[in-house]
Structure 1
Amino acid sequence: RMVLRIMLAQTLALETPPHATIATALPLLQGGPRKLAHGVFGSLMRAGVALPAPELPPATANRWTALWGEAMAEAASAALGSPPPLDLSLADASATAATAAQLGGTSLAPGHVRLPRAGAIEQIDGFESGDWWVQDLAASLPARLLGKGNGRSVLDLCAAPGGKTMQLAAAGWQVTALDNSEKRLKRLRQNLKRTGLDAATITDNLLEWRPDDQADAVLLDAPCSATGIFRRHPDVLYRIGARHIEDRAQQQLLLLERASNWVKPGGVLVYAVCSLERAEGEDVIARFLADDSRYTIDPVVTDELPSGIAPDALGQVRTLPGMLADAGGLDGFFMARLRHQA
């Protein structure tokens, strides 16, 4: 049964030719019922079987329909059945057109190249030379909202595995990256070495650590439910419920309040979560601003975003399933840029 499941997954989900599926799967049954598995698989292929249309778990579908509407929930269901494309962030944005042409990809923003779903990442041209790193387009937007660094200081909080750290370093910021996982920071340092980019890294708990000096900017990519990356990790749709979302929102507000003290007057604080839950995004910002008069929203404008993504009426950014669907879609994210009043 398990070998038959593997064979069906190869053929129906991964689009492996049936003859290749047979050649790779049947050896797993050496000494067992190979003829039976072969016969059943052949019968299924002749019958033209297909996978059922993917569906969101009912609790998730009901929650997202209430939050974002029926069209969003339908788009999310469709996204479950389509492996996401491979997005690359480039160390040198001026090489966007050349890299896209070299790799046979498309670009949706400066410093971004999108490829069809690929094989081994390490075998793609430019990996060893550190020309790029893997990062979903939506995940690249928060760092883009900070613009060019011009030598200014930025704290990248909850930084690992480091995509945003490398973006900021490539944009000319003096980056200090903080994360509480030494294992994940080790991967970040490896990527910094591979790309030739520079950032200071610190392993510590954000609720206990504090910087020596305030920074010109702070990027807080807060721990969240991660429901926005359900295409890559569909298990979150079954693990995450209302209680978990509320607990995360309380933690996010606490982290945001703490990080807000580390921005110089006149500086910028970007808050982001890879969540499709309003409680972790818009509601956290509303609660924070209601209690802290030092900050106001610094509205994002359409020209700062890839075509097809637009800020909301307050100037915050919310990416949803269904956006850029014809180009391969993108992960769910929320981000807001806040200005510390001088």
Structure 2
Amino acid sequence: MAKPSLPSGDLSAPRSNNPDLPGLRARKAVLTMLDGVLRRGETLDMAERGAAKALAPADRALARAIASETLRWLVDLDALIDSATRKPLQHEAKARQVLRLMLAQWLRLDTPPHAVIATGLPLLTGGLRRLAHGVFSTLTKRPATLPEAPTLPDAVRMRWGNRAEAIAGALALPPPLDLTVRDWSQTERWTEELGGVSLMPGHIRLPRGEAIEALPGFADGAWWVQDIAASLPARLLGPGESRKALDLCSAPGGKTLQLAAQGWDVTSLDVKPKRLDRVEQNLKRTGLSATLVSADALTWEPTGQFDAILLDAPCTATGTCRRHPDVLHRIGAEHITAMAALQAKLLERAAHWLAPGGTLVYAVCSLEQEEGEAQPSTIGLTTDPITAAELPDGVDPASEGWVRTHPGLLPNTGGMDGFFIVRLKA
């Protein structure tokens, strides 16, 4: 994104702390959101619910955009701040937080510097305000720039290894909008009507920013929103032909919809009843059906076995870093270890519910090996190798037969979420 030219107006610091100053409430919400993510380890969604609930929709969207871009470019924003201060500011110092969001607005959201100052400096008082004003003025006069792609935190870069550079390159812009078509035979029709592109049967990709509910086909349930990587696990189970399938940990329901559309007799299980409400709404909209069960998969027992089981397991969700940049900063080794232990328990239970000759697809939207490659070997099922013909062009299975996607794949069309997927046979 090109940096806007500096305005000719006065860049002096405003004196007002008037809470009714336009845009100030949104910036205060950003501070609270950043604190929730970076200090308390909350997801950005969780932090937003608490910090922005009283904001008007436009202000809430603005606050979310500022917080997201701040987290996406945090390492580079901090490097700029440190380059303009004689003494390093503490990582969680309020002056640093305010400077982060000020720079994110200027360098990523094209907000003119005078407007950044007008809504940023009132968040501070006294010497901290003067410090922030001096640092921001120094950086605008250089003028400061950001690299082409965000710099990953050191711990993240080390975990992701040789994939890290490609993933970082895909984080520069938020992802496009992917849709899964209920009836694959209608893919060409809906691709043309919606003005998108299709990367495989049953898939459509649109530019980001579309008003989803207003698009043709939404009210009729012709499609639903689902990242192309997230659509792969259910695809790998193939046609159902009225056989029994279990979608474990099913909410928000995209995979349940896929399985039902593929002809499976689906049992959709999730631990949270409110999350199943959303699944039920989507089933009604699309005219599909499934049996919904609210239960804990660690204690629930089915009345019979299943021909297919889809376990899209709870995980750290680091594969969603394009749309949830908070995972770059709040996920650490302890989170990965805890999730891997839970996934192993779920896999072991699911394996016992599989009918002889049945198929289990295990998937996580995580980029961590502990949650992916290290898991399937623990449950005694046989790998049913995934083939290149079952995947979009540009995504290849590993020699072991599983698939590892990441945001750096499909770079010319907008990338994809990070997933680990393996198909197993009883």
TM-score grouping bracket, smaller chain normalisation: 0.7 to 0.9
Aligned positions of 1:40-55 closer than 5 A? 50-52=145-147, 53-55=149-151
Residue 320 of structure 1 pairs with residue 409 of structure 2: no
CA distance in 2, matches of 1:10, 1:209: 48
The answer as to whether partners of 1:89 and 1:133 remain within 8 angstroms in 2 is yes
CA distance in 2, matches of 1:134, 1:62: 32
- Equivalent of 1:191 in 277, 282, 307: 282
Q: Which amino acid aligns with 1:331?
A: D
Q: Which amino acid aligns with 2:237?
A: L
TM-score by length of 2: 0.69
3-state DSSP class of the match of 1:169? helix
Q: Counterpart in 2 of 1:105?
A: 196
Q: Counterpart in 1 of 2:154?
A: 58
CA distance in 2, matches of 1:126, 1:9: 36
Residue 299 of structure 1 pairs with residue 385 of structure 2: yes
CA distance in 1, matches of 2:101, 2:306: 52
How far did 1:303 drift?
0.7
CA distance in 1, matches of 2:182, 2:296: 29
3-state DSSP class of the match of 2:166? helix
Q: Counterpart in 1 of 2:108?
A: 13
Identity of aligned residues (%): 57
Q: Which amino acid aligns with 2:414?
A: G
Q: Deviations over 1:1-52 (max 9, x none)?
A: 9669888756753568x7xx97xx98999xxxxxxxxxxx9x9999876445
3-state DSSP class of the match of 2:379? helix
3-state DSSP class of the match of 1:264? strand
CA distance in 2, matches of 1:238, 1:9: 17
Aligned positions of 1:124-135 closer than 5 A? 124-135=215-226
How many residue pairs get matched?
A: 318
How far did 1:287 drift?
2.4
Residue 266 of structure 1 pairs with residue 266 of structure 2: no
CA distance in 1, matches of 2:328, 2:266: 34
CA distance in 1, matches of 2:424, 2:343: 15
CA distance in 2, matches of 1:26, 1:168: 52
The answer as to whether partners of 2:247 and 2:266 remain within 8 angstroms in 1 is yes
The answer as to whether partners of 1:86 and 1:114 remain within 8 angstroms in 2 is yes
Q: Deviations over 1:236-256 (max 9, x none)?
A: 121111122112111111100
Q: Deviations over 1:147-178 (max 9, x none)?
A: 01111110000000000000001111110000
Q: Counterpart in 2 of 1:158?
A: 249
- Equivalent of 1:167 in 245, 258, 261: 258
CA distance in 1, matches of 2:233, 2:293: 21
CA distance in 2, matches of 1:50, 1:124: 37
Q: Counterpart in 1 of 2:421?
A: 335
How far did 1:76 drift?
1.7
Q: Counterpart in 2 of 1:277?
A: 368
3-state DSSP class of the match of 1:245? helix
Residue 245 of structure 1 pairs with residue 336 of structure 2: yes
CA distance in 2, matches of 1:7, 1:244: 31
3-state DSSP class of the match of 2:170? helix
Divergent runs of 4+, >3 A: 1-16, 25-29, 43-53
CA distance in 1, matches of 2:192, 2:141: 40
The answer as to whether partners of 1:192 and 1:198 remain within 8 angstroms in 2 is yes
The answer as to whether partners of 1:56 and 1:76 remain within 8 angstroms in 2 is no
Q: Which amino acid aligns with 1:210?
A: E
CA distance in 2, matches of 1:123, 1:189: 21
Q: Counterpart in 1 of 2:315?
A: 224
The answer as to whether partners of 1:55 and 1:80 remain within 8 angstroms in 2 is no
Q: Which amino acid aligns with 1:252?
A: Q
Q: Counterpart in 2 of 1:308?
A: 394
Q: Which consecutive unaligned segments of at least 5 residues does structure 2 have?
A: 1-12, 14-23, 28-98, 122-135
Q: Which consecutive unaligned segments of at least 5 residues does structure 1 have?
A: 30-40, 290-294
CA distance in 1, matches of 2:221, 2:140: 43
Q: Deviations over 1:266-292 (max 9, x none)?
A: 110111100101111110112223xxx
Residue 257 of structure 1 pairs with residue 353 of structure 2: no
Report the aligned-residue RMSD.
2.8
Q: Which amino acid aligns with 1:13?
A: R
Question: Structure 1 residues 47, 196: closer, same or farther in 2, change over 3 A?
Answer: farther
The answer as to whether partners of 2:180 and 2:203 remain within 8 angstroms in 1 is yes
CA distance in 2, matches of 1:123, 1:12: 31
